[in-house]
Amino acid sequence: MNQTVNAEERAPIGHIAFIMDGNGRWAKQRGMPREYGHRFGVKAFQRILEHCRDLGVQTVTVYAFSTENWKRPKKEVDAIMKLMDQYLTECEKKIERYNFRICFLGSKAAFDDKRRTRMEKLEKQTAGRLQTLNIALNYGGRDEIVHACNRLIAQGVREVTEESFASALYTAKSEDPDLIIRTGGDLRISNFLLWQAAYAELYFTDVLWPDFGPAELDAAIEDFYKRKRRYGGV
Ligand code: FPP
């Protein structure tokens, strides 16, 4: 039986989140340093973001740098931060034509004033855009949950609901992810969107992130549409 669902019968995917894994191995396969892989990782991210824009995906979330990634060698951390700064510059340059509302997930306290100001300015300038790009930077799911608890305590809240808790998370402005894609072959969540992933469909592929392109995303989406989402019901 052909399981493919006609495009017109499909509810659009609201939110796709990506664990962009495999940059280091991709570089190693080419006899290059890990930073080389991250550089091509950014190119893959840009292609995927454009594809998501064209598909009308409401929210795209990318795991760019985790709270644990600070443990990597300084040279690699510096290279990723430099790539991030270059991306900020690119967004600033084409701000009028930039399609996405940018939100950074994670504590900005880890960054110097200059980078933090640029991040906050981009968030403000893109606030009215219809599609959302969440960039998880210095992000960890556990850190986010602890941060939300402390926020609520500081507000004097004595009882929380699922809704009030969700609104204290970094993702307060986004719906929960429908589909989480992890490239690079590992079968784990790695502290990503722990609360929000409750009913997400998970898709794992061996493809290394720099090789993950529109055709690979289309295959993941095709797979998503074959899933039966029951949310605990029957
Ligand atoms: C995981 O691959 C990748 C990262 C920890 C960094 C990902 C960052 C980028 C692609 C740059 C983000 C920048 C923007 C502008 C969004 P890995 O290094 O763990 O690869 P490995 O598992 O093969 O070692």
How far is residue 37's CA from residue 16's CA, in Å, rounded to a whole number? 23
- The encoded tokens of residue 16 equal 């796709």
**Tokens 């940018």 found at:** 102
pLDDT in tens, the chain (234 residues): 445 555 556 777 999 999 999 999 999 999 999 999 999 999 999 999 999 999 999 999 999 999 999 999 999 999 999 999 999 999 999 999 999 999 999 999 999 999 999 999 999 999 999 999 999 999 999 999 999 999 999 999 999 999 999 999 999 999 999 999 999 999 999 999 999 999 999 999 999 999 999 999 999 999 999 998 888 887
Quickly name the fold that domain 12-140+176-225 has. Undecaprenyl pyrophosphate synthetase (3.40.1180)
- Non-local CB neighbours of 203 within 8 Å, separated by 6+ positions: 179, 180, 181, 182, 220, 223, 224
Query: If you ran DSSP here, which 8-state letter would residue 100 be given?
Result: E
* Amino acid (1-letter code) at residue 79: A
Q: Is the CB of residue 133 less than 8 Å from the CB of residue 103?
A: yes
Rounded to two decimals, what is the model's pTM?
0.94
- The encoded tokens of residue 105 equal 């997930």
- For ligand 1, pick from 20, 40, 82, 88 the residue to mutate: most ligand atoms within 8 Å of CB: 20
Domains of the chain, by residue range, sit at: 12-140+176-225
How far is residue 65's CA from residue 136's CA, in Å, rounded to a whole number? 6
Report the pLDDT value the prediction gives residue 2, as an integer from 0 to 100: 47
Residue 169 CA to ligand 1 center (angstroms) comes to: 23
Report the pLDDT value the prediction gives residue 83, as an integer from 0 to 100: 98
Ligand 1 touching residue 137 (CB < 6 A): no
Look at residues 42, 41, 59 and name the one whose alpha carbon lies nearest to residue 99: 59
Ligand 1 touching residue 210 (CB < 6 A): no
Q: Is the CB of residue 82 less than 8 Å from the CB of residue 46?
A: no
Q: b/e map of 35-67 (b: 16 or more CB within 10 Å)?
A: bbbbbbbbebbeebbebbeeeebbbbbbbbbbb
Maximum pairwise Cα distance, the chain: 58
Is 112 annotated in the active site? Answer: no
- Atom of ligand 1 minimally distant from the CA of 69: 5
Residue 38 CA to ligand 1 center (angstroms) comes to: 5
Is 69 annotated in the active site? Answer: yes
**Helix count and strand count (H, E) for the chain:** 7, 6
- The encoded tokens of residue 29 equal 């396969």
